[in-house]
């Protein structure tokens, strides 16, 4: 498993979004380090927090009438679908699938921030 850590180059320059992203990376770290007996509950709570974070970001997209919102929402939906599928496995005792999903999620998340979220941050900062 790779190291799940926040890096300054992930900052978008939009403070609210950056705070949300830092918190998500921190939550990924905590869940990844959770011992197996507590992992299912921690993973379930993490998935719920990702849903909430994505809803918050999508509300911002609506507020600024973001033109690329459908593409951005689709990415969120795909990730949530994968997380829900993995959650089912975790709840059946497959902790390794959950831990692997966190690793993949972090990889996706860094690319998502560097592309779609940077574009969204620019749209939010535009006059």
Q: Where are the domains of the chain?
A: 45-127
Binning pLDDT at 50, 70 and 90, where does residue 126 land? confident
Beta-carbon neighbour count of residue 87 at 10 Å? 19
Q: If pLDDT is split at 50, 70 and 90, which confidence band does 78 have?
A: very high
Token pair of 117, please?
A: 């979220």
pLDDT, averaged across the chain = 93
Task: Give the pLDDT band of residue 2 (cuts 50, 70, 90).
Answer: low
In angstroms, the CA 54 to CA 78 distance is 12
Of all residues in the chain, what percent carry a pLDDT higher than 70? 98
Mean pLDDT of 63-69: 94
Q: Taking Cα atoms as reference points, which of 115, 127, 109 lies closest to residue 12?
A: 115
- pLDDT at 6 (0 to 100): 87
Pick the residue with more confidence: 81 or 7? 81
Q: pLDDT tens across 36-60, in order?
A: 999 999 999 999 999 999 999 999 9
Query: Which of helix, strand or coil describes residue 64?
Result: coil
Host H or E run for residue 35 = none
Nearest-angstrom CA–CA distance, 109 and 37: 26
Q: What is the pLDDT of residue 117?
A: 93
């Amino acid at each position: 498993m790779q190291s799940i850590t926040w890096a300054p180059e992930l900052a978008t320059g939009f403070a609210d979004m950056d705070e949300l992203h830092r918190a998500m990376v921190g939550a990924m770290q905590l869940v990844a380090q959770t011992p197996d007996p507590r992992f299912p509950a921690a993973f379930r709570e993490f998935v719920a927090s990702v849903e909430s974070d994505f809803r918050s970001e999508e509300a911002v997209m609506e507020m600024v009438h973001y033109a690329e919102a459908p593409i951005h929402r689709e990415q969120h939906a795909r990730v949530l679908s994968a997380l829900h599928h993995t959650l089912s496995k975790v709840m059946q005792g497959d902790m390794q699938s959950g831990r692997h999903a966190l690793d993949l999620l972090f990889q996706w998340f860094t690319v998502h921030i560097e592309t779609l979220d940077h574009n969204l941050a620019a749209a939010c900062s535009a006059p």
